[in-house]
Amino acid sequence: MAMNIIISTTCLFLLLLLLPLVSCTNNNQVYLVELGENNIKGDKTLHEIENTHHSYLLLVKETEDEARASHLYSYKHTFNGFAALLTPNEANNLSGMEGVVSVHKSQTRIYSLHTTRSWKFVGLDGPFDPLEQKSNETNRDLLTKAKYGQDIIVGMVDSGVWPDSKSFSDEGMGPVPQKWKGVCQNGTDFGSSNCNRKIIGARYYLQGYEKIYGPLNEEEDYKSARDKDGHGTHTASIVAGRAVQNASALGGFARGTASGGAPLARLAIYKACWPIKGKPKNDGNVCTNIDMLKAIDDAIEDGVDVINLSIGFPAPLKYEDDVIAKGALQAVRKNIVVVCSAGNAGPSPHSLSNPSPWIITVGASTVDRTFLAPIKLSNGTTIEGRSITPLRMGNSFCPLVLASDVEYAGILSANSSYCLDNTLDPSKVKGKIVLCMRGQGGRVKKSLEVQRAGGVGLILGNNKVYANDVPSDPYFIPTTGVTYENTLKLVQYIHSSPNPMAQLLPGRTVLDTKPAPSMAIFSSRGPNIIDPNILKPDITAPGVDILAAWTAKDGPTRMTFQDKRVVKYNIFSGTSMSCPHVSAASVLLKAMHPTWSPAAIRSALMTSARITDNTGNPMTDETGNPTTPFAMGSGHFYPKRASDPGLIYDASYMDYLLYLCNLNLTQHINLTYNCPNPLPQPFDLNYPSIQIHKLNYTKTIKRTVTNVGSSKSVYKFIANTPKEFNILATSSVLKFKHVGQKRNFVITVTANRDQLPSKCDPDKYYFGWYIWTDNYHVVRSPIAVSFQ
């Protein structure tokens, strides 16, 4: 099953039903205790902070042992307080004590975990890839300037790492950076020898998980930073994997040199995501809020430069309820770039995770590589299919049937055609190729059902919703997937032919496919429902069929109980894969521009992104229609151009506090900050994109750009808008005399009422963009507008 690690509604519902039973075993529950004394400045060691927290617990617990046993985590950077097991009475007593600001029960928020070709596709090749001479010099110049990410430290909050992979070799790397303050935590099958000059630190976090689900079943995962899932290993190698030649997925697909985008960057592993008890890995993972908050807290303390979080909540969370948002803001305060996946709940609108403006939020799109596995019909027609199934069917034709025609009698129409478990009649299936529809049930599980019934092959057919989105999976029998259009052709052939026969041809890797990139159907979409003043996602990056390192303890499909195949590299898809691409680009930018803030790095990536594909046409979605900023953000990232963006939209921690003042949320983030009066408008946060919800007639928006290009330069304003609104800038020309100089301008957006319906739908958005250009740099900002 391709990467789309979201806990199913059913599983989550059952887990939540079990929570009261866990709570009833004793009267202790997890509480977060917030203190008034501010330790964020870092003037106390963590040990001193823990002793302070223990002293509070001693006031409500009967013994010192009980106090220490009840303590779960102390937080230093992300949250001024601690997590502990308390009874409701103890929590009430603690809340009335001096120095305690609040004591509230921790809401059990279950977050979940949301390459040989992708780097070349975005113009950034690894050090050992064959290149044309001109491209070679240009790209090596970019990587050389960034020193391949050398000594930049990336914190990976994920499911751990498989340290034995060649992708994590430290051969030829220099000593661990002196700024590093982290540890290599011992655990099951993971010791200090598993850390090296590439993986410089590793920790794991179980307190929250075990307090909800009970002790970890060590048959299901390692009680250490070692990865038994594959997800964490995959994402870590995309960011900073070393160049490994002749790497490929099962069956030899995508063979080439696998390399991370910043192959000399250092990795710090923070394992905070664990299996659902009794479930296969492809059913999802759980990452509890207090475990993740502690992982981010430690990453800040340890000295990382970038934090990658390919994690999200199944639905958008308010800032005050979102530990990723809270932790990320404190990381940004320490000048740490935080990159998060947008989620895999697309193409539904309002579905994206991690919408905070201090986070880089990443969607997923394709690369110019596919895996063709055609279908040859007995009438001589060939239908295009796609697959990475490592099995061959042979040269003979076999009968081709619709799943709905070979099911047991009595199957409900709502469940028909999908090849769900125990729905196919072996007497009708044996020796045949079955066309199963996509839409219900796991894709790879369908091949197990066809296999159970004696079928020799599977064709996975798209419905109209999935359209042109054909995932690549390593099935258990010869299989290929087809688009909706080709599904209709196959259905028509079966209905019109007295003896339909087909042959599934072997799959092969095909490069330079067009059009690419296009948006992945699963990539979560805007608009941002947490704050309609902020356009999200920010950017898109390769997240479809990405080859990267894998654990040796989980099969390529993550179907734990059925898939016993072992691979060193695996092809996976998801915003979890696109997120580390942007993290790697952030590493390179931070190495090249060490004084740039996280906001500056985000701005460079966003304003330099591409909005066209390799045919020169606008990027499209799974339907073939032009995509919008609610899917691609500012566009598809392009690191080479981002390294020299010309202008940047910068923002500081204080700017974010002012923004939160407008939302009346500062008390949830910084207790000591007093909001000024009057406040700037929230839409005036200096962001590289603009979203306006319910525009009545006109709105003015303030922005500031900083010159990071030529010392003396002149930028002119150009706008591209739909007929529904106009964009003007005051001034329309910005002149700079030196690097670092700032210039303010005002954007005025005006509705063209004669082009709008008499009654506007406030949820219908129209899109445009504006740019500043000096005839060399193009600094693009998307804009989304709805009307009332």
CB 363 within 8 A of CB 537: yes
Beta-ladder partners of 460: 436, 481
Structure-token pair, residue 767: 């899109």
- Closest to 4 measured CA to CA, from 491, 377, 521: 521
Letter string b/e over residues 723-740, b meaning 16 or more CB atoms within 10 A of that residue's CB? ebbebebeeeebebeeee
CB 270 within 8 A of CB 224: no
Cis bond upstream, residue 374 (ω within 30): no
Question: If phi over 0 gives left and psi between -120 and 50 gives alpha, with beta otherwise, what is residue 220?
Answer: alpha
As a whole number of angstroms, the distance between CA 120 and CA 546 comes to 12
Beta-ladder partners of 386: 372, 481
What burial class does residue 350 get, using C-beta atoms within 10 Å of its C-beta: 0-12 exposed, 13-18 middle, 19+ buried?
Answer: middle
As a whole number of angstroms, the distance between CA 67 and CA 70 comes to 5
Using alpha carbons only, what angle is made at residue 195 by residues 193 and 199, rounded to the nearest 5 degrees? 160
CB 236 within 8 A of CB 273: no
CB 81 within 8 A of CB 32: yes
pLDDT at 37: 61
As a whole number of angstroms, the distance between CA 525 and CA 675 comes to 32
Domain 142-367+518-643 CATH assignment equals 1.50.10.10:
no
- Contacts of residue 459, defined as CB under 8 A and 6 or more positions apart, other chains included, come to 375, 385, 400, 433, 434, 435, 436, 479, 480, 481, 482, 490, 502, 504
In degrees and rounded to multiples of 5, residue 95 shows phi and psi of -65, -25
Letter string b/e over residues 499-527, b meaning 16 or more CB atoms within 10 A of that residue's CB? ebbbbbbbbebeeeeebbbbbbbbbbbbb
Using alpha carbons only, what angle is made at residue 362 by residues 259 and 314, rounded to the nearest 5 degrees? 115
- Closest to 291 measured CA to CA, from 189, 203, 191: 203
- Closest to 464 measured CA to CA, from 381, 407, 521: 521
pTM of the model: 0.92
Domain segments of the chain: what residues?
A: 29-105, 142-367+518-643, 369-511, 647-651+686-787
pLDDT at 402: 98
> DSSP assignment of 249-316, as one string?
-GGGTT-EEE--SSTT-EEEEEE--EEPTTS-GGG-EEEEHHHHHHHHHHHHHHT-SEEEE-EE-SS-
pLDDT at 125: 59
Task: Identify the DSSP state of 668.
Answer: G
Candidates 129, 158, 221, 554; catalytic one: 158
Q: Note the pLDDT tens digit of each residue in 425-465.
A: 999 999 999 999 999 999 999 999 999 999 999 999 999 99
- Contacts of residue 767, defined as CB under 8 A and 6 or more positions apart, other chains included, come to 628, 629, 722, 782, 783, 784, 785
As a whole number of angstroms, the distance between CA 86 and CA 28 comes to 5
Structure-token pair, residue 407: 């099911």
pLDDT at 105: 87
pLDDT at 443: 94
As a whole number of angstroms, the distance between CA 342 and CA 747 comes to 28
Q: Note the pLDDT tens digit of each residue in 330-349.
A: 999 999 999 999 999 999 99
pLDDT at 600: 98
Task: Identify the DSSP state of 749.
Answer: E
The CATH number fitting domain 369-511, selected from 3.40.50.300, 3.40.1800.10, 3.30.200.20, 3.50.30.30: 3.50.30.30
The CATH number fitting domain 29-105, selected from 3.40.50.2000, 3.40.50.720, 3.30.70.80, 1.10.260.40: 3.30.70.80
Question: What residue type is assigned to position 111 of the chain?
Answer: Y
pLDDT at 674: 87
- Contacts of residue 488, defined as CB under 8 A and 6 or more positions apart, other chains included, come to none
pLDDT at 137: 44
Task: Identify the DSSP state of 378.
Answer: T
Angle at which helices 133-145 and 575-592 cross, to 10° = 70
In degrees and rounded to multiples of 5, residue 87 shows phi and psi of -80, 160
As a whole number of angstroms, the distance between CA 605 and CA 716 comes to 20
As a whole number of angstroms, the distance between CA 506 and CA 395 comes to 10
Structure-token pair, residue 748: 């005025």
Q: Cα dist. 591→149, 643, 660 in Å?
A: 6, 10, 30
Q: What is the CATH number of domain 647-651+686-787?
A: 2.60.40.2310
pLDDT at 135: 35
Candidates 114, 231, 636, 693; catalytic one: 231
Angle at which helices 231-240 and 575-592 cross, to 10° = 30
576 catalytic per annotation: yes
CB 180 within 8 A of CB 334: no
Candidates 576, 583, 586, 643; catalytic one: 576
Sign of torsion over alpha carbons 244, 250, 256, 261: negative
In degrees and rounded to multiples of 5, residue 729 shows phi and psi of -125, 140
CB 464 within 8 A of CB 366: no
Question: If phi over 0 gives left and psi between -120 and 50 gives alpha, with beta otherwise, what is residue 422?
Answer: left
Structure-token pair, residue 126: 């690894």
- Closest to 662 measured CA to CA, from 677, 644, 643, 647: 677
Which stretches of the chain score pLDDT less than 50?
A: 1-25, 39-41, 115, 126-139
